[in-house]
Amino acid sequence: MPPLLAVRGLQTQFLTRGGVVRAVDEVSWDVREGETVALVGESGCGKSVSALSIMRLVAEPAGRIVGGQILFKGRDLLTLTEEEMRQVRGREIAMIFQEPMTSLNPVLTIGRQLTEGLEVHLGMTPGQARDRAVELLGLVGVPDPGRRLAQYPHQFSGGMRQRMMIAMALACRPALILADEPTTALDVTIQAQILELMKNLSREFGVAMMMITHNLGVVARYADRVNVMYAGRIIEQGTARELYANPRHPYTLGLLHSVPRLDEPRRARLDPIEGQPPDLTRLPRGCAFAPRCAFRVERCGEEIPPLRQLDDEGRVSACWEAEHLPGGGPRSPVATASAGRR
Amino acid sequence: MSAEALLQVRDLVKHFDVGGGLFGARGTVRAVDGVSFEIPRGETLGLVGESGCGKTTTGRCILQLERPTGGSIAFEGEELTALSDNELRRVRRQMQVIFQDPYSSLNPRMSIGQIIEEPLFVHGIVKGGAERAARVRRLLEQVGLLPQHGRRYPHQLSGGQRQRVGIARALAMEPSLVVCDEPVSALDVSIQAQIINLLEDLQSELGLTYLFVAHDLSVVRHISDRVAVMYLGKIVEITDRKVLYDEPLHPYTKALLSAVPIPDPEIEAHRERIVLSGEVPSPLQPPSGCVFHPRCPIAVARCSQEIPTLREIKTAHWAACHLAS
């Protein structure tokens, strides 16, 4: 069975004063029916632009999708007309943003914003749409939904706004939800509420989810499979379990090492990834991570390592040295010692 | 007061009057509502809590950037709340701050060198130009930057480098206390560890005392000697780092710790979470009794009637909960 969404060789570029930024550079990944896939990486790695590209919401003319395919249910979204694309957005693929306040209309009531999609996409009457809106708000845990419909976004707290965004995303029963840092702006206890809610609802309705985040803990808890991005490229793919237990790219290894963990004894010192994230207008020759990499060999500075399959279990890494990285989990003493010495 | 405490905060209260305009009624935000702690010289106190719990306001009151509504703040034995603005200038040299967003706290029109040397000018710490240049070079080096970074402008640096500049500027005054207000939460994961290591190195090198305000419990555990947990303007639990994380007493602390996902799918698959219901109430109208009771999974009738005091439940382990024992 073909995946629900198959991104193939996607290339999105931005024209800036500093030159052409290859924000997404020949990126390929899949989302299957009903699964949760994470796109992890740090700011500027291209993860949000990937999501916007799928929705064809990259801000033109500075930004442009210059290559690749986005196959959703077998159709290439990049070949659709704007009118056809409008039928996909919100109806078949929905999006949840980090900051709900900036993606909600401040002068429309919550009710109006929820019912609009239902009337436009599903052809409901205002009465039907209202009933459905009440039901949706109840589903996402907004207390007293009937009264809340008449309120405006500013009368909602951050957590309630994000619940409202989830309700909007679910409104037309999409097959896929793209969630871009859905809980980053929220407090820890509210973050837990929202993530549990998203997990339960995606299971209940069989919605597939693409979760874009920088939080390795969130990925570990909620994702089935993981794509790690660095400087516009995917540098490692795998199931969450495999990838965390046995990272096959030095960047993934470094990320997992650098965060303090509550479940482990406190370490005397953290092991950061040295150096700075790359400037996308001036990427080095060869592997973009090489200048910060503890396992660098000569070849890394010359040739960009392709994403390649390492084993039969679907482990994929873009590192020349993937087979020679220290194994046995991110916290093995071997890994720490060699990373420090090189 | 213990002899070695550099900073001692007693019953600190900060209320803000709000409203009274066209919209809404007048009211009082009880941002900080009776907070007490002390920080021994050379130690780090972590102050954790969610947005609006009053942790940042507590830091600002200590720096006297906000004048407290009540309570006392003693720094090296000197009562700050009684000082005039002029007298405060002298004390402020010894109390510096590092902000969350290094970008908005650096003047975009000044070079990095100028940003770092400005406080040296203002307080007349070093006289000659050559001495000042040498001082700036030394500070850049101390925070892991190169001399040529001094000629650059904030927009030419990465987030991590900008935070290093913020740290250098704070160190320029040779402070004894540094209030670190969410110093790494705006930084990328791979950079956070660099800055945390730097803060720790500087502490042991220069004997600094930190008040580390943050919402990330894993980071706070790493850097703190003692930790205070705040909720709605009050400290609900305070003790040594290890004790707080190993044997938390307050139900809010327990829920906070449980809400942090562990970056390991194997562990997360079997981990039970305490997910709190509801949201943090408005500090305009804090709940009666224990401010946490509406969300508390173990609350009893008494909790909505009687305000629990912060009491020493075990040796050097304080919690404000009727049910803790």
> ipTM surpassing 0.95, yes or no?
no
Q: Helix, strand or coil for residue A316?
A: strand
Of A191, A255, A263, the CB nearest to B189: A255
Residue from B189, B194, B219 whose CB has the most chain A CBs within 10 Å, to mutate: B189
Q: Is A335 within 8 Å of chain B by CB?
A: no
Q: Is the pLDDT of residue A211 over 60?
A: yes
Contact residues, chain B, for A277 at CB < 8 Å: 158, 188, 190-191
Average of per-residue pLDDT values in chain B: 91
Distance to chain A for B90, nearest Cα, Å:
35
Q: Helix, strand or coil for residue B154?
A: helix
Contact residues, chain A, for B229 at CB < 8 Å: none
Q: What is the tens place of the pLDDT at every residue in A44-91?
A: 899 999 999 999 999 888 999 999 999 999 999 999 999 999 999 989
What's the confidence (pLDDT) of residue A334?
39
What's the confidence (pLDDT) of residue B277?
86
Q: Which of B266, B232, B265, B270 is nearest to B250 (CA)?
A: B232
B2: confidence class by pLDDT, cuts 50, 70, 90: low
CA distances from A341 to A33, A290, A334, A335, A337 (A): 44, 16, 11, 10, 6
- Per 3-state DSSP, chain B is made up of helix, strand and coil in percentages (nearest 5) of 35, 25, 40
Q: Greater confidence, A96 or B126?
A: A96
Most confident of A197-201, A202-206, B274-278, B320-324: B320-324
Q: Where are the alpha helices (DSSP H) in chain B?
A: 55-62, 85-92, 112-122, 129-142, 159-171, 189-206, 217-223, 241-246, 251-259, 265-270
What would the two tokens of residue B177 be? 């206390």
- Total Cβ atoms within 10 A of residue B151: 11
CA distances from B61 to B14, B56, B194 (A): 8, 9, 29
Q: What is the tens place of the pLDDT at every residue in A122-149?
A: 999 999 999 999 999 988 988 889 899 9
Q: Find all residues with CB under 8 Å of B140, minimum gap 6, and list them.
A: B112, B116, B146, B147, B149, B150, B168
What's the confidence (pLDDT) of residue A340?
37
B153: amino acid identity, one letter: Y
Residue by residue, what is the 3-state secondary structure of B225-277? CEEEEEECCEEEEEEEHHHHHHCCCCHHHHHHHHHCCCCCHHHHHHCCCCCCC
Of A160, A220, A267, the CB nearest to B268: A220
The Cα–Cα gap between B13 and B8 comes to 14
Q: What angle do CA A167, A168, A174 make, to 5 degrees?
A: 95
The Cα–Cα gap between A235 and A227 comes to 8
What would the two tokens of residue A112 be? 């109006």
Does A193 contact B218 at a Cβ distance shorter than 8 Å? no
Q: Find all residues with CB under 8 Å of B30, minimum gap 6, and list them.
A: B13, B15, B232, B233, B283, B286
The Cα–Cα gap between B47 and B231 comes to 11
What's the confidence (pLDDT) of residue B25?
61
What's the confidence (pLDDT) of residue B48?
96
DSSP strands (E only) in chain A? 5-16, 19-31, 36-40, 63-72, 75-76, 93-96, 176-180, 208-213, 225-230, 233-239, 308-309, 316-317
Percent over 70 (pLDDT), chain B: 97
Residue from A191, A213, A262, A273 whose CB has the most chain B CBs within 10 Å, to mutate: A262
B1: confidence class by pLDDT, cuts 50, 70, 90: very low
Q: Is the pLDDT of residue B23 over 70?
A: no
Q: Is the pLDDT of residue A231 over 50?
A: yes
Q: Is the pLDDT of residue A230 over 90?
A: yes
Q: Find all residues with CB under 8 Å of A207, minimum gap 6, and list them.
A: A34, A170, A173, A174, A175, A176, A177, A201
Q: Is A215 within 8 Å of chain B by CB?
A: yes
Q: Is A196 within 8 Å of chain B by CB?
A: yes
DSSP strands (E only) in A32-106? 36-40, 63-72, 75-76, 93-96
Cα-flanking dihedrals φ and ψ of residue A138, to 5°? -65, -40
What's the confidence (pLDDT) of residue A337?
39
What's the confidence (pLDDT) of residue B231?
95
